Amino acid sequence: MKQEQINWFFDLDKTLYPSNNGLYQEGNRRINEFFKTNLNKTLKEVNKLRLYFMHKYGTSLLGSIKECNFDAKEFLDYVHIFPKEPFLKKEPALRYFLNTLPGKKYIFSNAPKSYINEILYHLGIDGIFSQIYGIESFKYIGKPNKSSYAQILRWTNSLPSKSVLIDDMKINCLSAEKFGLNSIWIDENLTYNSYYEDILFTTITSFLENQL
| Contact set with Mg ion (CB under 5 A) | 11, 13-15, 168
Beta-bridged to residue 185, according to DSSP, are 167, 200
Residue 4 Cβ vs Mg ion, minimum distance, rounded to whole Å: 27
Q: Which single residue brings its beta carbon nearest to Mg ion?
A: 13
Instruction: CB nearer to Mg ion: give 14 or 50.
Output: 14
Compute the least distance from the CB of residue 59 to Mg ion, in Å: 11
Q: Quote the least distance from Cβ 33 to Mg ion, whole Å.
A: 20
Q: Which is nearer to Mg ion, 158 or 168 (CB)?
A: 168
Nearer to Mg ion, 41 or 113 (CB): 113
> In the complex with Mg ion, which residue's Cβ is closer, 41 or 170?
170
Q: How far is the CB of 114 from Mg ion (least distance, A)?
A: 17
- Residue 15 or 151: the one with the smaller Cβ distance to Mg ion is 15
> Shortest Cβ distance from residue 186 to Mg ion (Å)?
8
